[in-house]
Chains A and B, each alone.
Chain A
């Protein structure tokens, strides 16, 4: 590294590739040395604003199959961007190995430093270590898979026509929220397993053999009729919450390529599912990391005061949380919640109050803020993380309060930031970031195999919140098209089992 390159970053300065490399190295020293992060190899890609819009529209993937909805998002984002209604993100980062970070060419050198600290270290560490990502996504193969998917869809379009492919993709996209598996499927036992199990059973029978049992009068044989419905459900592995999976495997009329298209969409949905569940943590982690790194760089003199001011401006606007009565308010900002909680955990670890000792006896004052954070980043998702780590101090600082709405003319304030309210507020916040509570609980419950092959779905209604009507009718139509026969859905109250509403759709031929 030449001495020339080692000059501190000034605010507003242009960047070049050597400077990027130096900035990366300086960030890496702090990230690996002080924070103890563990990341995938990084690949920084410099792109233009148009390419950024591109990446936006294809949900952040560098490779994506073609579909009109991406064109729509591009047109919309572009219109917003051109009218100045919305600015573009400074970076996009992809959960892949090597981890790809897109940075915009318009960024100043100071911003590039921030972006590198944020994406190449913060997000990257989170992707590599968080248990949801480790368990459910395969960072090493996602880009190859997307390349396959893209080519496969192109081949299908050539062979069967764009309209036919589009029809399947439309239907699959409509079901994307219900195309994820939340639990690992049990592996079907192979011959070897079966054999071992049979041997084990024989041994057990022998060990516990007692001749007396022979003399006990048993039930007359053939009296217990197997329940036909239960049998059928078992064979079809019902109930099934992954609608796309069920249709891919069991829909009677689909052609092999249509099943493969469903599978691709299902895989994409599954790949993004961890990101949906960890918005607060992921952004909190990245923001905490960049904030620590830029502060250290400033202390070291690598960032001069001008650059630091620029970065602080952008940092504060990212973690800004307007109050509920502010015209700028549009819900809780995951960056603000995430960053607030990370800082709070670091504070509890290093400078706890008596209250913290009572609430977090296991981490309060343990003197290892970064280690504690790293294990939190690895082991939790938003919902469990908030349930575990949201402290009364932060609730007070953000002045959180929860409001109950039973669709009457008035709302009722349920809990505020006081001794009686902390737990209720914490639960409410955790529920708010719990994806499962936002997505309706819908399962495929039965198929009328003997009759007209009607597919039965069930929505378990919690707190009387029904489905959105127009959308549901359209999605039902898509399900019916894929299934090939009639589809019915009941909305059943989860507590009283009362049927609240019915939907039905038949296939379009």
Chain B
């Protein structure tokens, strides 16, 4: 009998099956993910999500008898008062006599819930989204490198020792120099011992063999088993990794005219954007700019949390963005993206300045500019806001600017997908527009 401890075997043996299952159940899971995203805030999404899988979505059909109809005989234990020939009313729900049919296999086809891990959820959640026109700017060599195998070397650290090469060299050298092997020496010794037993120490043969053995032992001691010349190490060459340089500007209006609801919508949108960017692109810089009548570059924490109020001057945000661009992100090296969220209010006097800035400075530098207009929850906007009209004029002039309106938080995710969907047709259309 053997006892084997398998507890330390690698976990997640069924991971591959799970992935296949999720891919198979994709459409059902996607629906559930959408529902979940409307129900929770984006930050809550982090902890994984319970997903109900409906029964018939993933049926495993078999050729089997129908569960009712026909003539059947059931057998049940625990008879109490029945005698032969009794007629009993059919029990509801197949309990009692009806339930005793041990249908072969007994595979229940009921629906069940299971929990997606955070990774799996985000994968599905942000599936198929891409920054439009990524990588159009020159690829820049950054200082990140990756070790790449580059043959062997005679020096290195012990962990990189290549045993196979080393032993191969050692073997070749030992053969070439005729280093006596263990077996050979053992055979000699046995021979000497045999001679010694047969004819004592006196025989000439014995003396010759002993001398020879001594010589071999000496030779062996001079030729090492592994010599420093044998040793080989795996060599790794650092290879610089080209990376596309991209920066995302997030502009948000936090002025007094933005109600809590609107701010919430805008934050949700940016949170989603942030999640998407940090997850999909390791090399994307993100710049947060929020503005009232003054604009300020802030960190992520402040951007999403700290309250502020004041008037609204959109052009300040653009000026701030321009400053940051000039300082840190020269447009000929960087893919620049920007997303702006606002309720569409602006100080009337500023409109002209804002659109001029946008048109002359911001848009030429940007690969893509998304504008999200947030509105009150229950009121469909009938008239376009100042900003919307101004931006629409710019869009009609052929600049790459995408505009969407959002009133309810359930719209955030669809709009977000809409803006960043990896869709060839629109991308090409954008390209044409951008080229025009």
Residues of A whose CB lies within 8 Å of any CB of B are 17, 20-21, 24, 28, 41-48, 50-51, 53-54, 57-58, 66-72, 74-76, 78-80, 98, 102, 105, 120, 162, 166, 173-178, 276, 321-326, 329-332, 398-407, 409-418, 420-421, 425, 428-429, 431-433, 435, 438-440, 442, 463-472, 474-475, 478
User: Does B92 touch A at the CB level, under 8 Å?
Assistant: no
User: Does B157 touch A at the CB level, under 8 Å?
Assistant: no
Of A24, A403, A420, A470, chain B has the most CB atoms within 10 Å of the CB of A403
A330 proximity list for chain B (CB < 8 A): 99
Q: CA separation between A173 and B59, bound complex, in Å? A: 11
B77 touches A276 (CB 8 A): no
The interface bits of chain B over 221-241 (1 if a CB of A lies within 8 angstroms of the residue's CB, else 0) are 000000000000000000000
6 pairs from A and B in contact (CB 8 Å cutoff): A50-B11, A174-B60, A331-B102, A332-B100, A399-B77, A416-B83
A57 contacts which of B4, B17, B75, B98 (Cβ < 8 Å)?
Answer: B17
B73 touches A46 (CB 8 A): no
B87 contacts which of A71, A410, A472 (Cβ < 8 Å)?
Answer: A410
B14 touches A74 (CB 8 A): yes
Q: Name the residue on B nearest A334 (C-beta).
A: B102
**Chain B: minimal CB distance from A239 (Å):** 16
A471 proximity list for chain B (CB < 8 A): 59, 61-64
Known A71-B19, A435-B104, A438-B104: A42·B2 in contact at CB below 8 Å: yes
B67 proximity list for chain A (CB < 8 A): 468
Q: Name the residue on B nearest A472 (C-beta).
A: B63
Q: Name the residue on B nearest A433 (C-beta).
A: B102
B7 touches A51 (CB 8 A): yes
A403 touches B6 (CB 8 A): no
B20 touches A66 (CB 8 A): yes
Known A166-B20, A466-B70: A400·B75 in contact at CB below 8 Å: yes
Interface size on B, residues (CB 8 A): 71
B1 touches A24 (CB 8 A): yes
B77 contacts which of A176, A398, A418, A470 (Cβ < 8 Å)?
Answer: A398
A177 touches B21 (CB 8 A): no
Q: Name the residue on B nearest A70 (C-beta).
A: B17
A442 contacts which of B63, B72, B99 (Cβ < 8 Å)?
Answer: B63
Q: Name the residue on B nearest A329 (C-beta).
A: B99
B73 touches A413 (CB 8 A): no
Known A75-B112, A413-B83, A418-B84: A329·B95 in contact at CB below 8 Å: yes
User: Does B208 touch A at the CB level, under 8 Å?
Assistant: no
B61 contacts which of A48, A421, A470 (Cβ < 8 Å)?
Answer: A470
**Chain B: minimal CB distance from A423 (Å):** 13
A440 touches B63 (CB 8 A): yes
B21 touches A466 (CB 8 A): no
**Chain B: minimal CB distance from A86 (Å):** 11
The interface bits of chain B over 86-125 (1 if a CB of A lies within 8 angstroms of the residue's CB, else 0) are 1111100001111111111110000011110000000000
Known A68-B24, A74-B17, A331-B100: A407·B113 in contact at CB below 8 Å: no
**Chain B: minimal CB distance from A49 (Å):** 10
Q: Name the residue on B nearest A399 (C-beta).
A: B79
Known A420-B84, A471-B63, A475-B62: A464·B69 in contact at CB below 8 Å: yes
Of A42, A464, A465, chain B has the most CB atoms within 10 Å of the CB of A465
Task: Classify the secondary structure of A's interface with B.
Answer: mixed
User: Does B43 touch A at the CB level, under 8 Å?
Assistant: no
Of B2, B67, B75, B106, chain A has the most CB atoms within 10 Å of the CB of B75
Q: Name the residue on A nearest B104 (C-beta).
A: A438
A401 touches B104 (CB 8 A): no
A428 touches B73 (CB 8 A): yes
B75 touches A425 (CB 8 A): yes
B112 contacts which of A79, A173, A412, A478 (Cβ < 8 Å)?
Answer: A79
Q: Name the residue on A nearest B64 (C-beta).
A: A468
The interface bits of chain B over 70-82 (1 if a CB of A lies within 8 angstroms of the residue's CB, else 0) are 1111111111101
Q: Name the residue on B nearest A18 (C-beta).
A: B3
A401 touches B70 (CB 8 A): no
B17 touches A46 (CB 8 A): no
Q: A66-B17, A405-B72 are in contact. List 17 more A-B contacts (CB 8 A).
A: A21-B1, A45-B6, A58-B14, A71-B14, A72-B24, A324-B96, A325-B78, A398-B78, A401-B82, A403-B76, A407-B71, A411-B97, A428-B75, A464-B70, A465-B70, A466-B65, A468-B64
B17 proximity list for chain A (CB < 8 A): 57-58, 66-68, 70-71, 74
B65 proximity list for chain A (CB < 8 A): 438, 440, 465-468
B64 contacts which of A45, A54, A98, A439 (Cβ < 8 Å)?
Answer: A439
**Chain B: minimal CB distance from A354 (Å):** 24
B3 touches A331 (CB 8 A): no
Q: Name the residue on A nearest B58 (C-beta).
A: A72
B3 touches A21 (CB 8 A): yes
B114 touches A76 (CB 8 A): yes
**Chain B: minimal CB distance from A404 (Å):** 6
User: Does B13 touch A at the CB level, under 8 Å?
Assistant: yes
Q: Name the residue on B nearest A102 (C-beta).
A: B6
B89 touches A414 (CB 8 A): no
Q: CA separation between A468 and B398, bound complex, in Å? A: 61
Q: CA separation between A429 and B98, bound complex, in Å? A: 14
**Chain A: minimal CB distance from B217 (Å):** 46
Q: CA separation between A75 and B19, bound complex, in Å? A: 11
Q: CA separation between A98 and B4, bound complex, in Å? A: 13
B62 touches A176 (CB 8 A): yes
Q: CA separation between A348 and B245, bound complex, in Å? A: 86
B102 proximity list for chain A (CB < 8 A): 331-332, 432-433
Q: CA separation between A69 and B87, bound complex, in Å? A: 43
The interface bits of chain B over 280-307 (1 if a CB of A lies within 8 angstroms of the residue's CB, else 0) are 0000000000000000000000000000
Q: CA separation between A439 and B102, bound complex, in Å? A: 12
B59 contacts which of A24, A105, A404, A474 (Cβ < 8 Å)?
Answer: A474
A98 proximity list for chain B (CB < 8 A): 2
A70 proximity list for chain B (CB < 8 A): 14, 17, 21
**Chain B: minimal CB distance from A61 (Å):** 12
Q: CA separation between A66 and B66, bound complex, in Å? A: 30
User: Does B279 touch A at the CB level, under 8 Å?
Assistant: no
User: Does B9 touch A at the CB level, under 8 Å?
Assistant: yes
User: Does B389 touch A at the CB level, under 8 Å?
Assistant: no
A71 contacts which of B22, B88, B98, B104 (Cβ < 8 Å)?
Answer: B22
